[in-house]
Structures are given as C-alpha cells and as structure tokens.
Amino acid sequence: MIFSHVLIRKEFRRASHSESPSRRETSDKIPILLKPIIEANKMQVKNPSQITKGSALKFVILLGVVSLLADMTYEGARSVTGPYLEVLGASATAVGFFAGLGELIGYGLRIFTGLLADKTHKYWTITITGYCINLFAVPMLALAGNWQVAVLLMMLERTGKAIRTPARDAMLSHGTQQTGRGWGFGLHEAMDQIGAMTGPLIVSLVLFVNGGYKSAFVVLLIPALLAIAFLLLARALYPRPQDLEVEVVNVQGKGFPKVFWILLSAAALLGAGYADFPLIAFHFQKVSLASESVIPIFYAVAMGVDAIAALAFGKMFDRFGVPVLILATALSMFFAPLVFWGGFGVAMIGAAVWGIGMGAQESIMRASIPHMVSANRRGSAYGLFNTGYGLFWFAGSSLMGVLYDISIPALVAFSMAAQFAAIPLLLIAARKENKEKA
C-alpha cells in the first residue's frame, strides 16, 4: 500500500508510543543471547525526519549478510552440480535441460510468489520460508544416490529461491530509496557475490583434500544455518522495512508502464543467451580443461568479478541510467567464445566476462523497477519480471545443452546473437527514460 505523507506521520506517532505486536512476537522467537543486540539496535522511528540514510544502509547491509551466507551455501553447490551430475551418469543434454529447468522454476514461480507477497503483505514470512527451503536442500544433495534424485533436490533449492526473492527485493527496494537504487542494489549484489565466490572456494578446498562431493555438500550446512540466524535478526530489527521509504513513488495507471515491458523484453533476450554455469563447468570437465578441484575456482572468479561489476555498474546507473546496461552487454556477450573455445587462461577470462554480465544485470535491472512501479506493486513487478527472464533462460539453456552435443560453434553463435538482439531494446528503454526525466 502506498501511504500519503499524512498517513506516514500518523504511523510514526503510533510507533513512538508503543511497540508493534509484530516486533514483540519476533523478539520472543529470537535466542536470548541476541536480545541485547536487538534492543540496542532496534529501529525506533518517531517521525519521518528520523529515517536516515544510515538506518536504511544498515538494513541493506544486514540483508546483504544474509545473501552472502546464502550464496555461500547454494552457489558453492552449484559450482559443482554439473560435474556431480556427470559423475552420477547424466548427459550434457540432461545437464543443460535441468539446469535450465531449475532456472525456470527459480524465476517462473516468482510471478505467483510476488503476487502473494503484495496481496498478503507477509513479506517476512514468505522470505523466511523461501530461504529455509532454498538453503536446506543443499546439504541434502549428499544423500543423492543417483542423478535423478540430485536433480530433484536442485529443483527444490530453486523453488525456495523463487518463493523468497520477490518479497525480499520488495523490502530491499524501500531501503535503497535513500542510498540510491543502483548503489543499494549494487551493494547487496556485491555482498551476495562475495558469498558466491567464497562458497566455491570452500568446495574446492574440500575436494582438494579428497573429501568428495558429498562431504562438500555437508560442510555447506554451516553457512546455511548462519544465514537463517541473521535473517531472523533482520526480521526482529526491521519488522516494517516500508518505514524506511519516506517519498513513495506513485505510478498512475492499472498496468505497468511501457518502458517496463521493453526492459523485460531485453532481459529475456539476455537470459536466453546466457549459458548457465553448470553447462560451462560440464564442458570444462568433459574436455579436461581443469581438474574437478579447480573448476569451482572458475566460478569463484566469475562471482568475484560479479561483485565488483555490481558495485561499479550500480553506481554508474544512479548517474547515467539504462545506457550502463548497454555497455555491460557489449562486454559480456563475448563470454561464450572465450569459455567454450579457449584454453585454461582464455576460459578464465571468459568466466570473468560472464561475471561482468551477471553483476550488471542483477544490480541494474532490480534497481530499475522501483523507478517504474508503485511500492504496493513491486512484489508483483519483480515476480513478473523474473518470470519472463526465467522462461527465456530456460529455453536458451535447454537449446544450448542440445547444441553442445551437436555443434559448439552453433552454441556460441546463438549465445552472442541473443545478447546482441537485446541492445536495440535497451536503447529504446534508455530514450524513454530520458524523455521521462526531461
């Protein structure tokens, strides 16, 4: 719901006289040792002037810590799921198809979970539920006896991410209003990718000491538990993230603006042309480009570059807008020939280029939506946007898996063509953005 300034002031007056029931209920669920921290840091907002950039930044950072630990868990696992499925007997077609299906589930369900979040306003409940499913499916991979069971657990992990992401991003959009959308989402993505870089390194270390894939999945239970603990802490400290946004965007009209659909179309093409990393890792394993303990390092490099790119492009977005994504796309479209045709060094560069595209897309696209959509519809907008992106990612990933078994040059050509086709749409979106600013 979008509040007027009068309603906002009334809400803050009520908050100044009594603690909300949601805060008391949450406090009871937090371990006793955390209660002093909560009481010392709890956001007590008495009027709009007390909503500072610092309090908003703390919220963004706290959710960033959750994402860091969560990505350490599931991205650590995803760095080896391609080779793990290959060891269990899966084909390249199966890896490509199920990697794409996982992304389809991870993105496709968001249209429904986003609508559910906006309809029920249970943003925290939905977020916590999704994280639990998302994270605890990873250590269960250690119990998989065949590749079919492993695939089912991979699908469950993606389902959990689909449940929690629109609600979390809607809450995050409130915190980024004062920090700058691009910088706020870029910072969150950077912390996210620090975890995504650390997780594969942990897995690589476990494999290096001959622990095996199953031991690596068990070790990833530790960051999963820590992520849930910090998520509950965030819920206790910020039960109403919407209070962080004083100036609420009020977009008129029943549907989403035209620029939203143009940007979604461009994102769909980018998703179609972006090979999922399990297929890339499968290729490295198949051609013996690197040992199984070294392959996760390629993913770690990609995630490290992703983090830097998210911060840089996010900051640039706050100043220049959508054209920044055009620059990123022009760079990232060359990842395919580098990773599928290159030797060790060239493939490592390709992994870094792959990370540039992911960092730019994850920060800029999420940062764009709050400028286009009212606060009470952002869950739905994020859900719809990610569903379209996921559908095309699934189609593209499945096709590239088939093309890999037929012709790697055809795979590379398709990947580059799909990403290049997104550039004209991004140019149109940039022009519309400039007209609205003028």
Q: Per-residue pLDDT for 100 more than 90?
A: no
pLDDT band at 116 (very low <50, low <70, confident <90, very high): very high
Please, where are the H alpha helices in 88-180? 92-108, 110-120, 123-136, 147-179
The residue count of the chain comes to: 438
pLDDT score for 256: 80
pLDDT score for 28: 44
Q: Name the nearest CA neighbour of 73 among 159, 163, 157, 167.
A: 157
pLDDT band at 189 (very low <50, low <70, confident <90, very high): confident
Q: Per-residue pLDDT for 285 more than 50?
A: yes
As a whole number, mean pLDDT of residues 112-136 equals 93
Q: What is the DSSP string of 243-302?
A: GG-SS-----SSS--HHHHHHHHHHHHHHHT---HHHHHHHHHHTTSS-TTTHHHHHHHH
The model's pLDDT over 302-354, given as tens digits with 9 standing for 90+, comes to 888 888 888 888 888 888 888 888 888 888 899 999 999 989 999 999 999 99
Q: Per-residue pLDDT for 15 more than 60?
A: no
Please, where are the H alpha helices in 321-343? 323-332, 335-341
Q: What percent of the chain has pLDDT over 70?
A: 85
Q: Cα torsion for 16, 178, 253, 386, to the nearest 10°?
A: -110
pLDDT score for 335: 92
What lies within 8 Å, CB to CB, of 369 at 6+ separation is 173, 260, 378, 381, 382, 385
pLDDT score for 137: 93
How many Cβ atoms from other residues are within 10 Å of residue 32's Cβ? 6
Segment among 7-16, 119-128, 146-155, 335-344 with least mean pLDDT: 7-16
Q: 56 vs 35, which has greater pLDDT?
A: 56
Alpha-carbon gap, residue 72 to 195, rounded angstroms: 4
pLDDT score for 103: 72
pLDDT band at 434 (very low <50, low <70, confident <90, very high): low
Longest Cα–Cα distance in the chain: 68
pLDDT band at 435 (very low <50, low <70, confident <90, very high): low
Q: Per-residue pLDDT for 201 more than 90?
A: no
pLDDT band at 247 (very low <50, low <70, confident <90, very high): low
> 221-237 vs 212-219: helix axis angle to the nearest 10?
20
Q: 396 vs 107, which has greater pLDDT?
A: 396
pLDDT score for 251: 47
pLDDT score for 307: 84
pLDDT score for 1: 37
Q: Per-residue pLDDT for 214 more than 80?
A: yes
Q: Per-residue pLDDT for 221 more than 90?
A: yes
How many Cβ atoms from other residues are within 10 Å of residue 67's Cβ? 25
Cα 272 to chain centroid, rounded: 17
pLDDT score for 19: 38
- Are residues 134 and 157 in contact, defined by beta-carbon separation less than 8 angstroms? yes
- Are residues 26 and 236 in contact, defined by beta-carbon separation less than 8 angstroms? yes
The first and second tokens of residue 174, run together, are 């409130």
pLDDT band at 36 (very low <50, low <70, confident <90, very high): very low
Q: Per-residue pLDDT for 8 more than 50?
A: no
Alpha-carbon gap, residue 74 to 220, rounded angstroms: 8
Cα 297 to chain centroid, rounded: 20
Alpha-carbon gap, residue 265 to 427, rounded angstroms: 12
Q: How does the average pLDDT of the chain come out, rounded?
A: 81
As a whole number, mean pLDDT of residues 264-291 equals 87
Q: What angle do CA 366, 372, 376 make, to 5 degrees?
A: 85
The model's pLDDT over 136-158, given as tens digits with 9 standing for 90+, comes to 999 999 888 888 899 899 999 99
The model's pLDDT over 400-431, given as tens digits with 9 standing for 90+, comes to 988 998 999 999 999 999 999 999 999 988 88
Q: Per-residue pLDDT for 185 more than 80?
A: yes
Domain boundaries, the chain: 53-235+253-437
Q: What is the DSSP string of 390-429?
A: HHHHHHHHHHHHHHHHH-HHHHHHHHHHHHHHHHHHHHHH
Q: Per-residue pLDDT for 246 more than 80?
A: no
pLDDT score for 48: 44
Alpha-carbon gap, residue 198 to 77, rounded angstroms: 11
> Which residue's structure tokens are 């699908």?
155
- Are residues 269 and 422 in contact, defined by beta-carbon separation less than 8 angstroms? yes
Which CATH code is given to the segment(s) 53-235+253-437? 1.20.1250.20
pLDDT score for 157: 93
Segment among 73-82, 85-94, 114-123 with least mean pLDDT: 85-94
Alpha-carbon gap, residue 352 to 302, rounded angstroms: 5
Q: 252 vs 129, which has greater pLDDT?
A: 129
